[in-house]
Amino acid sequence: MTRRARLLATLGALVAGVALLACTPPPRAPTVNQPPLPVLTVPASAQVGERVLVDGEASQDPGGAVSDAHLLFGDGSDPTTGLSAEHAWQAPGLYLVELYLIDNEGASARARTRIQITP
């Protein structure tokens, strides 16, 4: 092979390599699972024995789906599974109400608010 032929072959390989690089997209950064966004709505106050809607239905997950939800009422009662439930507190006091969410990729988040229960 002559020097000119080697030079043309090298130049052709270089052009092909540059063309391949130009056509190859850059690698994507891995996506990071975003946690769910809990939204908890509870009245500021209620009376003892009054049934109250504890609502987390406005919650969402930007990167997937909420797969598990639990409501805690702060009064020692069992947690409820789901985004909303009715609950009645049996004694006056200030109670911490919590919504705990887990998404389909295992990320979790919690929202908390208080409710004042009067006699």
- CATH code assigned at 51: 2.60.40.10
Residue 39 lies in a domain: no
Please give, one letter per residue, the 3-state secondary structure of 69-89.
Answer: EEEECCCCCCCEECCEEEECC
pLDDT bucket at 24, cuts 50 / 70 / 90: confident
User: Domain range spanning residue 108?
Assistant: 45-118
Residue 21 lies in a domain: no
Residue 94 lies in a domain: yes
Residue 51 lies in a domain: yes
Residue 33 lies in a domain: no
Residue 5 lies in a domain: no
Distance of alpha carbon 119 from alpha carbon 22, whole angstroms: 74
Is the four-CA dihedral 9, 12, 18, 22 of positive or negative sign? negative
pLDDT of residue 19: 57
pLDDT of residue 68: 98
Kindly report, residue by residue over 67-107, the tens digit of the pLDDT. Answer: 999 999 999 999 999 999 999 999 999 999 999 999 999 99
Number of structural domains, the chain? 1
Kindly report, residue by residue over 35-75, the tens digit of the pLDDT. Answer: 999 999 999 999 999 999 999 999 999 989 999 999 999 99
Residue 24 lies in a domain: no
Residue 64 lies in a domain: yes
